[in-house]
Every structure is written in structure tokens, then in C-alpha cells.
């Protein structure tokens, strides 16, 4: 029942806004920043952030937000990040994770990687919808990925987050964007069977986005994020 109690903490609308903001940043967030984003007073934000931490939905620490050290740098401030722990509720109880892990183990032992990827690609095409063409732009890809729970965010090719979104920039080739994803919907199983599940994930997104359109999915694993990135097809011949 712990997961039910943790999820129930998000029933408060202010608490939920604070959690969603911290989770979306992919970095440490201070109390002042979180309060401003949620439109509440700092003391109220601090109360709710600590409640979220007590429930195990956030993790907290402390650091100097000024970026300075030594005398005059100020006291460390409390900061928050999303907890990596999964929370799920099923009433009545279901255990799809165990089934997924058993199927993944059997597929890996039987050498069914290619068959699994083919099935995943077909599923991605089906999710696109009958007669739907390839994804038309990175902006469309972001919407599709967000709807599937991947938590996409846009970076330039040097890894700097693009806070302005995916609008085309006049910078030409130097303005190339990639879409990275802070969440892997298959994280628990991917941790146990990374080559099998990451390959399946790539094939699924290839089917979802389409192989012949202006965007393409490719493997580019980075700690703490989904193993796949999506980018403009003209910028991925590297």
C-alpha cells in the first residue's frame, strides 16, 4: 500500500504542480525556483516539497545555488530532484512486470531479437494509425513521444538544452536539434535485458516515426535517459 500512499500525496493541486515541475527539469531545483514556477509562496512550496520527499517521490540535497565557494558564497540551499523509484497501483493486483521479464528472458535465450524488433516495428506503425505518413517534424515527434510517456526534451547537437523548443533556427547546420527523452517506459525490464529491450524500443520508435520521413530515431545511450534519440534525418549521417 506504500505506492497508494505516495500517489495520494499528489492529490493536492499545488503539490502536483511542484512535482511535475521538478520532474520536468531533469536537474536539481531550488525552493525559490519551484515556488515561482508553481505560483506560490516560498514557505508553502518548501512545505509541499518536503512532503513529496517524505513520500519518496522526490529526493533532496543541498548545494550553493550561486555557483561560488568559500567565504561570502552563502549558505547551501535545499534542492530537489525526482526520485528514480517507480510507483504504480493496480486494483486488483496485477504483475505484468514479472511476465514481461520472463518473456524477455525467453526471447533472449532463444535468440529472438530480430523477431521481437520486427514485431515492435509493426506495433509502432500501428500506433501511428492506418494510412498515416511518417512523422513530419521534430515538433511532431515531441508530441508523439510525450503522449507515449517518454518525457522528451530538445537539445542542440552539443548537448545544450534548447529552452525555446524545436522551431527552425536560421543557423543552418549549426542549429541542429536532437530530441532526448528523460524517461524510458520500459526501464525496469531494460535494466535486466538492455540489448534486447533497447533494440525493441528503437524498432518501436522507428515504426512510430516512420523510416522515410524527415526525422529518424537512432541509438545513443546516456545515463539516466532513454537509450534512443530522435533527430532531423539530414543531420544524422555521422
Closest CA to 169 of 177, 161, 180, 159: 177
Write down the pLDDT at residue 79.
96
Mean pLDDT of all residues in 124-128:
94
Q: Work out the pLDDT band at 71, boundaries 50, 70, 90.
A: low
DSSP string, 141-188: HHHHHHHTT--EEEEETTS-B-TT-S---TTGGGG-EEEEES--TTHH
d(CA 64, CA 66): 5
What Å distances lie between residue 107 and 47, 98, 114, 156, 206, CA to CA?
A: 47, 14, 10, 36, 21
Contact 109, 193 (CB under 8 A): no
Q: What is the pLDDT of residue 81?
A: 96
Cα 10 from Cα 102, distance rounded (Å):
32
Burial bucket for residue 57 (CB in 10 Å: 0-12, 13-18, 19+): buried
Mean pLDDT of 190-206: 97
Specify the DSSP class assigned to residue 29.
E
Residue 126's H or E segment, with its range, is helix 113-128
pLDDT at 212: 86
pLDDT at 108 over 80: yes
Strands 77-82 and 58-63: antiparallel
Distance CA 151, CA 26 (A): 10
> Which residue carries 525556483 as its cell?
33
Residue 129 DSSP SS3: coil
Q: Taking residues 113-125, report their average pLDDT.
A: 97
Whole-angstrom Cα distance, residue 115 to residue 125?
Answer: 16
Say if residue 236's pLDDT is above 80.
no
Mean pLDDT of all residues in 200-213: 94
Evaluate if residue 78 carries a pLDDT over 50: yes
In this prediction, residue 170 carries a pLDDT of 37
Contact 54, 32 (CB under 8 A): no
Residue 149 has pLDDT above 90, yes or no: yes
Cβ pair 38, 17 in contact under 8 A: yes
**Predicted local distance difference test score (pLDDT) of residue 162:** 64
Please report which confidence band the pLDDT of residue 131 belongs to, taking 50, 70 and 90 as the band edges: confident
Convert the pLDDT of each residue in 9-51 to its tens digit.
999 999 999 999 999 998 999 999 999 999 999 999 999 999 9
pLDDT value of residue 68: 57
Identify which has the larger pLDDT, 68 or 105: 105
- Give kind and range of the element (H or E) at residue 207: helix 194-209
**Predicted TM-score (pTM) of this structure:** 0.83
- Per-residue pLDDT, averaged over 87-91, amounts to 88
Peptide bond connecting 92 to the previous residue in cis, omega within 30 degrees of 0: yes
Report whether pLDDT(67) > 70: no
Amino acid at each position: 500500500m506504500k505506492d497508494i500512499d505516495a500517489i495520494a500525496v499528489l492529490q493536492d493541486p499545488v503539490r502536483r504542480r511542484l512535482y511535475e515541475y521538478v520532474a520536468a527539469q531533469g536537474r536539481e531545483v531550488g525552493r525559490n525556483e519551484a515556488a515561482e514556477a508553481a505560483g506560490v509562496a516560498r514557505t508553502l512550496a518548501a512545505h509541499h516539497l518536503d512532503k513529496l520527499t517524505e513520500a519518496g517521490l522526490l529526493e533532496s540535497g543541498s548545494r550553493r545555488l550561486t555557483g561560488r565557494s568559500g567565504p561570502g558564497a552563502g549558505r547551501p540551499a535545499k534542492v530537489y530532484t525526482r526520485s528514480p523509484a517507480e510507483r504504480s497501483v493496480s486494483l486488483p493486483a496485477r504483475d505484468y512486470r514479472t511476465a514481461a521479464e520472463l518473456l524477455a528472458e525467453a526471447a533472449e535465450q532463444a535468440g529472438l531479437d530480430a523477431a521481437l524488433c520486427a514485431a515492435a516495428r509493426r506495433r509502432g506503425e500501428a500506433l501511428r494509425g492506418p494510412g498515416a505518413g511518417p512523422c513530419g517534424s521534430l515538433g511532431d515527434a515531441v508530441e508523439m513521444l510525450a503522449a507515449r510517456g517518454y518525457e522528451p526534451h530538445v537539445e542542440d547537437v552539443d548537448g545544450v538544452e534548447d529552452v525555446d523548443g524545436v522551431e527552425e533556427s536560421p543557423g543552418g547546420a549549426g542549429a541542429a536539434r536532437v530530441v532526448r527523452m528523460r524517461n524510458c517506459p520500459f526501464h525496469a525490464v531494460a535494466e535486466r535485458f538492455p540489448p534486447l529491450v533497447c533494440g525493441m524500443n528503437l524498432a518501436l520508435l522507428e515504426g512510430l516515426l516512420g523510416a522515410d520521413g524527415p526525422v529518424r530515431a537512432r541509438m545513443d545511450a546516456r545515463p539516466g535517459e532513454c537509450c534512443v534519440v530522435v533527430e532531423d534525418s539530414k543531420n544524422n549521417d555521422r
